[in-house]
Amino acid sequence: MTEILPFLKELISAPGISGYETGVRPIIEKAWQPITDQMSVSRLGSLHGLQKGTGGEPRPSIIVATHMDAIGLMVNAIIDGFLRVTSIGGIDGRVLPGQMVTVHGRQELAGMLVQTPVRLLPSNVQSGVVPLEYLLVDVGLLPDEVARLVRVGDPVSFAQPPFETVGETLVGHTLDNRAGVAAMTCCLETLHSRPHVWDVWAVATVQEETTYGGALTSAFQLHPSLCVSIDVTFGSEPSSPSHLTFPLGKGPTLIWGPVVHPFLHKILKELAERLEIPISIEPAARYSATDSDAMQLVAEGIPNVVIGIPLRYMHTPVEMIALKDITRAGRLVAEFIAQLDETFMEKLTWDD
């Protein structure tokens, strides 16, 4: 059984921003290898792990998707040895100055995000959050050395070391969505020792933060009967609206909205109640902002449901998550899969 805390620390310490996921994929592959029957990598780089079901051929299948990519930065100019950067994915810029980063150039370079002294900034940006365009990465090298080692287009990842709090939470960058990968791993470990009729495809997708390309292509390639997304959602923060955020340590969320199939939502909600797994209902009036937005639209349409793990300080280098919410999300998905039988799809009707 994978110990979730060291595994999650290893996951969030590895690079793997959206479109550049090769740094983290081998870690996931190593964890999934003993608990899957087949491993493969899609043409875009998503990792597929198959747990074969016990039902007769042809068996129905389910994708459980959780993205392994993360937000980050990219070098878009080099000026006098300093690096200007742009964002890959959406980044909350309020806590960027002073953050440690790794520049993935011709060799990995440690650096720091710094800002021009306030008095030298344009008057319209001297107060409030300094826009990313006025921040620089300083790697502490002379200009000619920087020009030799760094190119425009090189990715830059956050390098804040993870740390634990006394409240059984973990803080660090990239918990969106390596926390989902950890939950998926808990799910696979549970199912590995339990018979299940359906084939299970565990998919660590790429490019969720930018294009949904991994979810689209993997769902098209594998063509499952159902899809589940495990992702993070907004955790309660100081002064955050209670109807839009969810407390840490109080269980995962079930998204309710147009992307989610109402029958699947009903089944998961009732199952959580029977298992005494605390959940919250998360309304999403349009999109879920997860891989399910893409998978729902593949081929003739794939019924989806979305599990959210509350996360504080989302899209910053100092995200926070409760470990028990990760294990609860993994257990809920595993129990749902374990009860799927050959006739389940015959019961699946759209009744909102």
Whether residues 143 and 197 fall in one domain: no
pLDDT above 90 (res 284): yes
> How many residues are recorded in the chain?
352
Whether residues 332 and 310 fall in one domain: yes
Question: In this predicted structure, what is the pLDDT of residue 117?
Answer: 82
Whether residues 228 and 93 fall in one domain: no
**193, 189, 338: which is closest to 275 by C-alpha?**
338
Helix 175-192 to helix 25-32 angle (10° resolution) is 10
* pLDDT tens-digit series, residues 243-260: 889 999 999 999 999 999
pLDDT above 80 (res 22): yes
- Give me the amino acid identity at 234: F
The stretches of 130-174 forming alpha helices (DSSP H) are: 143-149
CATH code of the domain covering residue 98: 2.40.30.40
Domain edge (last residue) among 125, 158, 191: 158
Whether residues 205 and 130 fall in one domain: no
Tokens 């294990």 appear where?
327
Domain edge (last residue) among 129, 158, 187: 158
The predicted model gives 206-227 an average pLDDT of 98
The values of phi and psi at residue 134, to 5°, are -105, 5
Whether residues 221 and 333 fall in one domain: yes
Whether residues 287 and 238 fall in one domain: yes
Question: In this predicted structure, what is the pLDDT of residue 352?
Answer: 65
Question: In this predicted structure, what is the pLDDT of residue 44?
Answer: 97
* pLDDT tens-digit series, residues 170-198: 999 999 999 999 999 999 999 999 999 99
Report the domain count for the chain. 2
Per the domain annotation, does 66 fall within a domain?
yes
CATH code of the domain covering residue 19: 3.40.630.10
Per the domain annotation, does 167 fall within a domain?
no
pTM, two decimals, is 0.95
Whether residues 79 and 66 fall in one domain: no
The predicted model gives 263-290 an average pLDDT of 96
Average pLDDT of the chain is 95
Whether residues 219 and 240 fall in one domain: yes
Per the domain annotation, does 166 fall within a domain?
no
**80, 79, 81: which is closest to 133 by C-alpha?**
79
* Token output for 292: 């399910």
Per the domain annotation, does 164 fall within a domain?
no
Which domain, by its residues, includes 328?
Answer: 4-70+173-347
* Token output for 81: 């040895």
Neighbours of 129 (CB within 10 A): 12
From residue 238, give the alpha-carbon distance in Å to each of 129, 223, 241, 246, 322. Answer: 18, 42, 9, 12, 16
Whether residues 109 and 222 fall in one domain: no
Whether residues 223 and 343 fall in one domain: yes
Task: Identify the band that residue 2 occupies on the pLDDT scale cut at 50, 70 and 90.
Answer: low
The stretches of the chain forming alpha helices (DSSP H) are: 4-13, 25-32, 143-149, 175-192, 213-222, 262-275, 292-295, 323-338, 344-347
Indicate the helix (H) or strand (E) that contains 226.
strand 226-234
Helix 4-13 to helix 25-32 angle (10° resolution) is 150
Per the domain annotation, does 129 fall within a domain?
yes
Cα–Cα distance measured from residue 185 to residue 348, given in angstroms and rounded to the nearest whole number: 27
Tokens 């996921």 appear where?
21
Domain edge (last residue) among 133, 158, 183: 158
Residue 317: strand, helix, or coil: coil
The predicted model gives 316-342 an average pLDDT of 97
Per the domain annotation, does 62 fall within a domain?
yes
pLDDT above 70 (res 200): yes
Whether residues 154 and 180 fall in one domain: no
Whether residues 219 and 282 fall in one domain: yes
* pLDDT tens-digit series, residues 68-127: 999 999 999 999 999 999 999 999 988 999 999 999 999 999 999 998 888 888 888 888
* pLDDT tens-digit series, residues 112-168: 999 888 888 888 888 888 889 889 999 999 999 999 999 999 999 999 999 999 889
Per the domain annotation, does 323 fall within a domain?
yes
Per the domain annotation, does 54 fall within a domain?
yes
Question: In this predicted structure, what is the pLDDT of residue 332?
Answer: 98
Q: Are 177 and 290 in contact (CB under 8 A)?
A: no
